[in-house]
Amino acid sequence: MKKFNFYSGPAILPPTVFEQAAKAVLELDNIGLSLIEISHRSKEFTAIVEEAQQLVRELTGLGDDYKILFMQGGATMQFCTIPYNMLDTNETAAYIEMGSWSKKAIKEAKLFGNVNVLASSADKNFSYIPKGYSIPADAKYFHITTNETIHGNQLQTIPDSPVPLIADMSSDIFSRVLDWNKFDMIYAGAQKNLGTSGATLVIMKESLLGKVKRPVPTMLDYRSHIKDNSLHNTPSTFAIYVCMLTLRWLRDQGGIAPMEKRNRAKAGLLYAEIERNTLFEANVAAEDRSMMNVTWIMHDKSLEESFGQFAKDNGCIGIKGHRSVGGFRASIYNAMPDEGVAKLVSVMQEFESKHAQ
Ligand SMILES: *Cc1c(COP(=O)(O)O)cnc(C)c1O
């Protein structure tokens, strides 16, 4: 039976990416060597990095004032690397808190300077996005999380910021059309919507850098990675290759706009079933629901385990909600085919017909 992977990350990738990545591990493009044994400084590998960067430019239309880097340490490492490079002890950065990931980013920033949490939805376990705050013009930067992977909420509009705007886009990067020039920095762990674990995409304006007084260790200084074009030390060559393949696939699908259209349709189908089905209930405010990570709960908690098992038995893998939220979550990233969502919907309907009173 064909199984559909709804895990949040590492996550589903397009079948062609799996095939090409597997082939390249055996032999890269008929060069007589495996992708994972060649030097990161070889012409073959530098061409891979450059193609990945070029594809990011092509998909976003961003110009040369933005640097495109592949770093390590995941999005989590960015939580501390950003304030390390950009926030002095006596300065203040603005954050909004709308889920577990933004909360972690805030915790790290506090190690380096002052943090002004402009708004939070912690009062209702992040089931909505806080609104109606204003961004102070003297903040060093404003940090947002465009999609909260665990809680299933997503910023529907990107705020206009009077200060540099930095976004953790780990779980919804390249899933929808955005005004990319609104951002001064975007980062994303690759393993949600972009590739496999081990690489972190960073898109940033160099003008953000070189302003703090503290010394920054070479490896944590973005300028080292810019200077050496993501090859300062040995990067995760395999992970970067998989990102490049996924970016190629995205381009071949027509780019971000058609992908957004499909993503809207997939999410619409699933939310409609959650609303219709008598056993389930959506747990995020309607206007703030994520198109990538769809979360819901069951009216009758005693049925949760058997629904989870039923979904698994029917080829829908990884729909258990995060332990901090409970219920269920289906991650339906770019690579999730329409059939995967249709399958999950039919599993929900079948379960209802067995259990509804
Ligand atoms: C998964 C995730 C992270 C953490 O990513 P790592 O690459 O595991 O460090 C951070 N932010 C968001 C929004 C995520 O979804």
Residue that is last in its domain, among 223, 252, 281:
252
Q: How far is the C-alpha of 136 from the C-alpha of 66, rounded, in Å?
A: 24
Number of domains the chain contains: 2
Residues of the chain with pLDDT under 50: none
How far, in Å, is the centroid of ligand 1 from the Cα of 74? 7
The reply to whether 10 falls in a domain is no
**In a shared domain, residues 87 and 199:** yes
The reply to whether 8 falls in a domain is no
Q: Give the domain extent around 23.
A: 15-252
Q: What residue type is assigned to position 164 of the chain?
A: P
**In a shared domain, residues 248 and 262:** no
φ, ψ of residue 168 to 5 degrees: the values are: -85, 110
To the query of whether residue 249 is one of the catalytic residues in this protein, the response is no
Q: How far is the C-alpha of 213 from the C-alpha of 206, rounded, in Å?
A: 17
The reply to whether 7 falls in a domain is no
CATH number for 248: 3.40.640.10
Q: How far is the C-alpha of 292 from the C-alpha of 333, rounded, in Å?
A: 5
The reply to whether 1 falls in a domain is no
How far, in Å, is the centroid of ligand 1 from the Cα of 170? 6
What pLDDT is attached to residue 1?
83
How far, in Å, is the centroid of ligand 1 from the Cα of 134? 26
7 by Cβ neighbours in 10 Å (0-12 / 13-18 / 19+) ranks as: middle
pTM of the model: 0.98
**In a shared domain, residues 241 and 274:** no
The reply to whether 158 falls in a domain is yes
Which residue's alpha carbon is at the smallest distance from atom 3 of ligand 1? 75
Catalytic pick among 67, 103, 140, 168: 168
To the query of whether residue 192 is one of the catalytic residues in this protein, the response is yes
**In a shared domain, residues 327 and 237:** no
How far, in Å, is the centroid of ligand 1 from the Cα of 325? 17
The reply to whether 121 falls in a domain is yes
**In a shared domain, residues 309 and 323:** yes
Q: What is the pLDDT of residues 128-180, one digit of tens each?
A: 999 999 999 999 999 999 999 999 999 999 999 999 999 999 999 999 999 99
**Contact between 167 and 188 (Cβ < 8 Å):** no
Query: Which ligand 1 atom is the nearest neighbour of the CA of 73?
Result: 9
The reply to whether 133 falls in a domain is yes
**Where is 186: in which H helix or E strand?**
strand 185-189
Residues at CB less than 6 angstroms from ligand 1: 9, 74-76, 101, 145, 149, 168, 170-171, 189, 192
Query: Which ligand 1 atom is the nearest neighbour of the CA of 147?
Result: 13
Query: Which ligand 1 atom is the nearest neighbour of the CA of 169?
Result: 13
